[in-house]
């Protein structure tokens, strides 16, 4: 079956944009060597976030028959958890998933450890991100308050 191949590339944060570009280059080079007619979709966001714009577009293309294959550099670049669900959706729509760099078979314990670390990382990032956002709000409110007090003192001293 011939059709458009989608190269899907993802990194977790905007600080990894250089990694995203390198990943896209690897996937594009692979697709070219295979002779695929392809398009690259890039995403920035957690592998546990299923509402990323690029992932939503990819799933829409799969369900609407807009692609015949998905190419990813590593399995976890598609999603961190729930890969089997996406794999099932792809199978139902006759879309293959091709993983360029398969990691060696790892033990159940190693896989579980990687999963637990991934979960901790995602939730830690959310927690610190919320704290950071809250701290920014506090600083902004304090600036407003102090600037009002400064203006008031200036008026009172005149």
Q: Does 115 or 104 have the greater pLDDT score?
A: 115
pLDDT of residue 6: 97
Task: Catalogue the active-site residues.
Answer: 12
Q: Does 37 or 154 have the greater pLDDT score?
A: 37
By CB atoms closer than 10 A (0-12, 13-18, 19+), residue 143 is exposed
* Prediction pTM value: 0.69
pLDDT of residue 1: 47
Is the pLDDT confidence value at 143 over 50? yes
- Residues 144-154 have a mean pLDDT of 60
94 in Cβ contact with 68 (< 8 Å): yes
- Residues 108-115 have a mean pLDDT of 68
**Phi/psi zone of residue 82: left (φ > 0), alpha (ψ -120 to 50 degrees), beta?**
left
- Cα 111 to Cα 128: distance, rounded to the nearest angstrom: 26
SS3 letters across the chain: CCCCEEEEEEECCHHHHHHHHHHHHHHHHHHHHHCCCEEEEEEECCCCCCCCHHHHHHHHHHHCCCCCEEEECCHHHHCCCCHHHHHHHHHHCCCEEEECCCCCCCCHHHHHHHHHHHHHHHHHHHHHHHHHHHHHHHHHHHHHHHHHHHHHHHHHHC
What pLDDT band is residue 155 in, cutting at 50, 70 and 90? low
Greatest mean pLDDT among 11-15, 41-45, 46-50: 41-45
pLDDT in tens, 56-101: 999 999 999 999 999 999 888 898 878 899 999 999 999 999 999 8
């Amino acid at each position: 079956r011939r059709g458009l191949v989608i190269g899907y590339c993802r990194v977790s944060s905007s600080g990894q944009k250089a990694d995203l570009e390198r990943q896209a280059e690897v996937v594009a080079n692979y697709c070219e060597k295979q002779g695929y007619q392809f398009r690259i979709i890039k995403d920035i966001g957690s592998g546990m976030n299923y509402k990323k714009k690029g992932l939503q577009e990819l799933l829409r293309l799969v369900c609407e028959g807009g692609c015949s294959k998905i190419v990813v550099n590593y399995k976890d670049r598609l999603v961190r958890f729930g890969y089997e669900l996406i794999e099932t959706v792809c199978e139902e729509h006759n879309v293959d998933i091709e993983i360029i760099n398969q990691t060696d078979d790892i033990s159940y314990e190693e896989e579980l450890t990687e999963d637990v670390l991934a979960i901790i990382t995602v939730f830690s990032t959310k927690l610190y991100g919320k704290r950071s956002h809250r701290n920014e709000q506090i600083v902004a409110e304090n600036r407003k308050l102090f600037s009002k007090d400064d203006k008031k003192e200036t008026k009172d001293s005149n």
